Structure 1
Amino acid sequence: MVVHTNLKELCTHKGSFSLQKNECENLLWSINKVEFDQSILIWHIATTLCYYLDVGNQDGSHIDICRTENKHISDYLMYLLVTYLVMLPIGIGMIRYRDTCAEAKRFFKEKGLITQNVEACLKLLEVESLEVLPSKVKGDRCKSALFDGFRVALTLKKIEKEHMWKVMSQGLKWIEILAYAATHCRGFHHQ
């Protein structure tokens, strides 16, 4: 297990340390090139898609525990983003969240999927790649993170399953994000 010896350092990485340690430099854009709230949305979408990819293969193994723990932390950070935005660093998280939900509903409707369930997640993962970067299609006005999250999930999907969950758990990916959030919000909200 990767352990940070310097807690101050842990709280500054936002997840990049774990990506570098696990040789996933191709995903650093999802941490370093986007705002923090966008990174939470991107990684929540990727975590959810990867989680549902394995939903039928649960056997109580270490990988299952890692997967479930990552999903819980991801869900918690989304809860903060939607319900207690003041607990996160200042950003436009609610706008991004609304745009992402609207884009997901449009996508699911176009694909004939009525609900946002396991089937819908698996439908997203059937696509092998995105021909054009999402930002080129949607422009600057739309703040959705749906297809950026999808891009991260596609990259993770290509990695061996055990290593994929190691990137997010053993490398403390979500713990780094949580630590960053806790130390970069207005402190009086922690009372």
Structure 2
Amino acid sequence: MEWLLHPCHFTCVLLRLALRVFTKGNRDGYSTPDIVTTFALLGGACALEVASVLKMIWSTWTYAILRNYDWDRLAIVILFARYHLVAIKDGRWSDSIGQINLISFCVHRGKKDLKGRIARLIGLRDWWDKARCTKHPKLSPEVKEFVWGLLKGDKRHMVQIEDVTIQSGYWARRFTGFAESQQLNWSLSIEFHKSMLIWHIATSTFLNHPDVKSELVGKYKGMAGAVETLSDYMMYLLVEHPDMLPIKPAAHSLFGETSGSYMQLLSIWNKSNADGNYQMILNYKKVFSDPRKDRSMGVVNQDDLVLWQACSLVHTMLNMKLELIHKMVIIGTVWVEMLCYAATNATGGFHARQLSNGGEFLTHILLLIKHADAVSKSVGGIVEATVGDDELTAGGNSPSVHSDGCNDEITEAC
């Protein structure tokens, strides 16, 4: 306890000495503004010192020390005051997750309300729209269990995503483990930010399709919520914290360009209900041709291409001859793979800064990846040892050590 109080005690002594010097000393040679400034700075220092002492008293360190000295009742009082009476930001994770949905963003942006007009007049329209459409809900247990299950490989028998990049750090993946996987590989073989936007729009449209919504009941509903949460979180990172993602600076504008193209469709088709908004994506290929084939300006319009490819992807998912739960696992695996790619390619300095502030969800994903690797290795070692013991005792033949062409391995026969 003494080591915790000693620094504060030393600082308090210095402040008392300084206060005594300033109050009792001769101030005739100093101007009034200098005296006022000095006392203001001294008062601020005293306030900061009082705040730090209070923060130390209500800290979990104090709680642990009191419990160590068997002062349980006082420790409980400290804990109660900490969580119910004192608002302290101590660097713990808020257990919340940022959320932005592109289609909802466009719908809200298209509304001509008074607040939006005022924000446009003062030049804060973009900031206002992002602030209004950004949410930070608590991370549900379903999302945590879903992500952890996929990281452990619980659904590996249903879908796998392989890294096919030629150079480390680049985004290129392919699906394996299920029929018709070849139809989806193109969506993971393009630039990372484009792949994110395409899968985000396709995920929202797929989950809001009438045929899919009618089946999303019971356990499927929780899985659908987890998938949508991960999709909206990646959009949140792309819009609010693009520096966290392994993308080029030029890619930051694609969200705005794509939302602008979608808003033009809203103004043309004048769809006001949610189902109509998603129906626009489903009908996109019927109204517009492939931008890669229509090069009237000599350059492919990337935002139109994103919408066209999102429409193509969602139709592929709807037409695949798989159970709904299988399709949900495929989409969820894509988002977990993107989370892992973003987490492992972010700089160490970024993760260190985030941990000091409680940690972004992306940082927790990195820790889960490391933990899942450790768990799989430990389980693999146990399985290997078990299989090895079974082989040694199976046939009654004693293994022999061979060094001639067998690399000193213990084998039954060389």
One-letter identity of the residue aligned with 2:204: T
Change (3 A) 1:158 1:101: same
Provide the aligned length of Structure 1 versus Structure 2.
181
Equivalent residue for 1:55?
A: 213
1:104-147 Cα deviation digits (max 9, x unpaired): 111222222247x3321034325676874233347645321222
Unaligned runs of 5+ in 1: 4-8
Deviation for aligned residue 1:21: 2.5
Q: Is the 8 A contact 1:15 1:176 kept in 2?
A: no
Aligned-partner Cα distance in 1 for 2:199–2:172: 10
Query: In structure 2, which of residues 216, 221, 224 is the aligned counterpart of residue 67 of structure 1?
Result: 224
> Does residue 35 of the first structure (1) align with residue 196 of the second (2)?
no
Give the TM-score of the pair, scaled to structure 1.
Answer: 0.79
**Sequence identity percentage:** 24
> Does residue 180 of the first structure (1) align with residue 369 of the second (2)?
no
Q: Secondary structure at the match of 1:89?
A: coil
Q: How does 1:25-174 map to 2 (within 5 A)?
A: 25-32=182-189, 34-53=190-209, 54-61=212-219, 63-91=220-248, 92-114=250-272, 117-126=274-283, 132-137=289-294, 140=299, 142-144=301-303, 145-159=306-320, 160-162=322-324, 163-169=326-332, 172-174=333-335
One-letter identity of the residue aligned with 1:187: G
Q: Is the 8 A contact 2:201 2:310 kept in 1?
A: yes
One-letter identity of the residue aligned with 1:168: I
Give the TM-score of the pair, scaled to structure 2.
Answer: 0.39
Aligned-partner Cα distance in 2 for 1:134–1:27: 19
Change (3 A) 1:128 1:161: farther
Unaligned runs of 5+ in 2: 1-154, 158-162, 354-414
Change (3 A) 1:126 1:182: same
Q: Is the 8 A contact 2:283 2:311 kept in 1?
A: no
Q: Secondary structure at the match of 2:218?
A: coil
Aligned-partner Cα distance in 2 for 1:114–1:59: 26
Instruction: Give the structure with higher Rg (CA).
Output: 2
